[in-house]
Amino acid sequence: MDKTKYCNEVLARVEELMYQELSGMAYWKCEFVGVDFIRSQKILGSTVPEIVESCAAVMKAEGIVSDVAYKTGGDGVMLKLTVQGCMHHGKEAHVKKEGVRPYICPIANMVLDQIHEKLKYTTSYLTKIAIDEERNRCLLYMALYETGDMIGHVTDWLKDDEDREWLESQGSQILAAADRKKKE
Amino acid sequence: MNGQEFLDVLTSRKSIRRYKPDPVPDEMIDMILEAARWAPTGENYQPWRFIVIRDQETRNAIGDLSKQGSGSRMTSWYCLNELQQRFEGIEDPEKRAGVLEFMYSGRVSEFCKQAPVIFAVIGDLQIGSVDVPYDLCAAMENMILQAHAMGLGSCWVYGPVASTRDAIRFKKILGIPTGFGDFKVLSYLAVGWPKEQRKHPRPKLPLEEMVYWEKFGNKERP
């Protein structure tokens, strides 16, 4: 039995059903999916990069991903992860077949959870999940708010982003309805 | 009241986010709750529970959480140039910038601090049958319409409970049990005497665009 395939099929069904019930709102409800594993691991760090590296090391060692690169920006508000070879790619493909833009990302959830747990950030938000099937990678853009004062602090996250062009060609979770209207 | 008069109540309602400081009398609060009590509910389970909040400190805490919830999302949408696209229909650049700032700062959801009373609408998941979220929505709509019929303004606010972490925080503010099998927090309703006169009606899609006859997609009335 292919346990990864089985696991992804189960997750995909849940993701599709939640979307059917909650539409795009489901995207905001799933931040705890995946966190139990990372909470059972010894994650160390007192800064965002240290937490990301510690989580990435565990995830790589356990075969959840083959690689995670990260970059911070936006005066500390943005965290971008480039995830290579994620075991959940099969889940994303399943969900997309049903016309749902994948919105559950255990990898992002794990990292954000540890930033909350270890660094006590006020809040965070997984802003964008972009799946690049051709290159077997995902781009994840997250907002991190160490304090509430940084809410409303806006910068251009894509100003020097090497993936800008590709990213802008991808669908948006929050603009799904507008995108569909444009196609009509 | 005939059908047209009832429709007039429905079509004259609008979401109100600015309120006069005048208190809402207890009798009106009771009528809003009574309206909620008569909402349709699967198998008559009535899973809804309501927390009436007038305490300023509690409203401030919920307002801050609302601001944080909406602002955290919208700041990042703006940073990825997505929020701007949602509002590209506003042609005046100055007005558009103002609207965007109002959104990404989170102030769009902070107004319950000024509402004299807010109602948290929650559902007991141990009592309800299979319809808890839908029952709660029906109760919320009844409350909104009852408030409007009495000349009050209201706004249904989802901001502070949109994310799961925030929903837990919301529950903690109000002392609601936080187990996932305990209570569903739908959202809250802010109520007060309207301070704003919004233009009305806002554009609505014509029925022809949303009604099908007999089968999906068939727009011709037989």
Those of residues 98-137 in B touching chain A at CB distance below 8 A are 101, 104-106
Q: Tell me how far apart the 2 most distant CA atoms of chain B are, in Å.
A: 58
Q: How many CB atoms lie within 10 A of CB A72?
A: 16
DSSP-derived 3-state class of residue B84: helix
3-class secondary structure per residue, A33-54: CCHHHHHCCCCCCCCHHHHHHH
Distances (CA, A) of A127 to A123, B3, B75, B164, B186: 13, 45, 10, 15, 23
- As a whole number, the mean pLDDT across chain B is 94
> How far apart (Å, rounded) are the C-alpha atoms in residues A37 and A83?
18
> Is the CB of residue B67 less than 8 Å away from at least one CB of chain A?
yes
| pTM for this entry | 0.93
In angstroms, the separation between the Cα of residue A65 and the nearest Cα of chain B is 25
Which tokens sit at B154? 């209201």
Question: Which residues make Cβ contacts (< 8 Å) with residue A174, sequence separation at least 6?
Answer: A24, B77, B82, B86
pLDDT above 70 as % of chain A? 93
Whose structure tokens read 């229909």? B89
Which amino acid, residue B137?
C
Q: Map tokens 């309800």 to a residue.
A: B128
**Burial class, A59, CB count within 10 angstroms (exposed 0-12 / middle 13-18 / buried 19+):** buried
**Alpha carbon of residue A63 to chain centroid:** 17
pLDDT in tens, B4-45: 999 999 999 999 999 999 999 999 999 999 999 999 999 999
Residue B150, number of CB atoms within 10 A of its CB: 15
Those residues with Cβ within 8 angstroms of residue B151's Cβ, 6 or more apart along the chain or in another chain? B193
- To the nearest whole Å, the CA of A164 is away from the closest chain B CA by 10
User: Does residue A169 surpass a pLDDT of 90?
Assistant: no
> Which three-class secondary structure state does DSSP give residue B124?
strand
Confidence of residue A183 (pLDDT cuts 50, 70, 90): low
Residues B96-110: b if buried by 16+ CB within 10 A, e if exposed = eeebbeebbbbbbbb
Secondary structure (DSSP) of A52-116:
HHHHHHHHHHTTS-SEEEEEEEGGGTEEEEEEES-TTHHHHHHHHHTT------HHHHHHHHHHH
Nearest residue, CB atoms, A127 vs list B67, B80, B105: B80
- Mean pLDDT over residues B172-185, rounded? 96
N-to-C CA span, chain A? 43
Residue A177 clears pLDDT 60, i.e. is over it: no
Contact B76 A152 (CB under 8 A): no
Q: Testing the interface with A: which of B65, B68, B75 to mutate, by most A Cβ within 10 A?
A: B75
The complex's ipTM works out to 0.91
Question: What is the per-residue pLDDT for A170?
Answer: 80
The rounded distance, in Å, linking the Cα atoms of B2 and A111 is 58
Q: Which residue, chain included where needed, has tokens 């007991």?
A: B124
Contact between residue B120 and residue B172 where contact means Cβ atoms under 8 Å apart:
no
Quote the CA–CA distance of B97 and B115 in Å, as a whole number. Answer: 26
Q: Residue A181's pLDDT is what?
A: 55
- Cβ-Cβ contacts under 8 Å for B204 (sequence gap 6 or more): none
pLDDT above 70 (res A173): no
What's the confidence (pLDDT) of residue A180? 55
Asked if the Cβ–Cβ distance from B82 to A123 is below 8 Å, we say no
Residue A125 is classified by DSSP as E
Mean pLDDT of all residues in B50-79: 96
- Hey, is A127 helix, strand or coil? strand
Q: What is the residue whose two structure tokens read 């965070």?
A: A124
Is the bond leading into B201 cis (omega within 30 degrees of zero)?
yes
